[in-house]
Structure 1
């Protein structure tokens, strides 16, 4: 035990990955600033060992870490910065990609997207609009104004590429696409739900004990 007051700063990581039976030390869960003479010991403090009953997620609360540090350094002044919890995603054995399943999903999405675009054009009578535009510009009647329909179809594809800011793995600029923003918001909401649900489950388990 160290004499005098020791100031320790802890910044929990938002999310990390772990594997079954892995021992989670503090340096895996957080960034620590402490006097050099005790930092190495604090970094290697065991906070949790992943067990089978942990299932897919483990939530480590800042209070658990503070409690563990106080056991060794009761005179320390612990300051937490940033997130109050760390979510540990327990990784399982990676599944091999199934080419047939991938192809079926790709075909399903392709057909679904195509039907969505066609139904939209049917609802707004896009073909009639093209016919009227062609007649207004040329003074002629053409029930299949390909000179408008072909560039319009190409433009839809280019517009979708620009909208999502990707073509395969190529990114056009650093600005996130709307899909990436929505995925980020979804992950944030999912993390909040996991943190709340796991904390509630742990509190119920502690009351039973």
Structure 2
């Protein structure tokens, strides 16, 4: 019976251009004692030659391992591919640009809230509620409007589960969930795109 080695690819990893990645960097191995020497097998050198992303397939790792030790039974217990993101040196953010974007977002969100309140006639609603409670007609019922405005801000803080860098609990915020789903979609697209490239190149006539 062949010695069994279980392999689980990492879902995603990042590397710098020129960095040599070994099996221990892209996966986790468990099993027969011989797996320890397999961890040092080179897999890929990160390069921007074909873009910022690369896909490492389980079959490629199995081929490399069998070249080193063909007697092993390699079994995958994780994702079939891992996405390698090759990072490029980032530029420092421009403070003026950050301030400009912040102002635009602040004004835009403020206008959106004001337009919503205009559409639903919130001013008249507050006046009506004040009249039903006190029996008096008041044009600006601040006793209702001020707590309502504070409540909007507090509600947004609770909804997004953040106040600056402080998190209120361990639950992900709606923004974090959307970013997670967006990243998942990007990773799946990269994997499918790489598959199509490989399949397309394999169908090309050799000459």
The TM tier, using the shorter chain, reads over 0.9
Structure 2 counterpart of 1:130, from 126, 133, 152: 126
Structure 2 CA distance for aligned equivalents of residues 40 and 101 of structure 1? 50
Q: Which runs of 5+ in 1 are unaligned?
A: none
Could you tell me which residue of structure 2 aligns to residue 30 of structure 1?
27
Q: Deviation digits for residues 25-46 of structure 1, max 9, x if unmatched?
A: 100000011433x333210111
C-alpha RMSD of the superposition: 1.4
TM-score (norm 2): 0.94
Structure 2 CA distance for aligned equivalents of residues 52 and 95 of structure 1? 17
Trace 1:33-182 onto structure 2 (pairs within 5 A).
33-36=30-33, 38-182=34-178
Aligned length in residues: 205
Structure 1 counterpart of 2:15, from 6, 12, 18: 18
Q: In 2 relative to 1, CA 23–206 (structure 1 residues): closer, same or farther, beyond 3 Å?
A: farther
Q: Which runs of 5+ in 2 are unaligned?
A: none
> Does the residue aligned with 1:158 lie in a helix, a strand or coil?
helix
Q: Are 1:5 and 2:27 counterparts? A: no
Q: In 2 relative to 1, CA 25–207 (structure 1 residues): closer, same or farther, beyond 3 Å?
A: farther
Structure 2 CA distance for aligned equivalents of residues 159 and 52 of structure 1? 44
Following TM superposition, where does structure 1 have runs of at least 4 consecutive aligned residues deviating by more than 6 angstroms?
Answer: none
Could you tell me which residue of structure 1 aligns to residue 182 of structure 2?
186
> Does the residue aligned with 1:32 lie in a helix, a strand or coil?
strand
Moved more, 45-54 or 129-138: 45-54
The answer (yes or no) to whether the contact 2:127–2:139 under 8 Å persists in 1 is yes
Structure 1 CA distance for aligned equivalents of residues 99 and 194 of structure 2? 36
The answer (yes or no) to whether the contact 2:47–2:86 under 8 Å persists in 1 is no
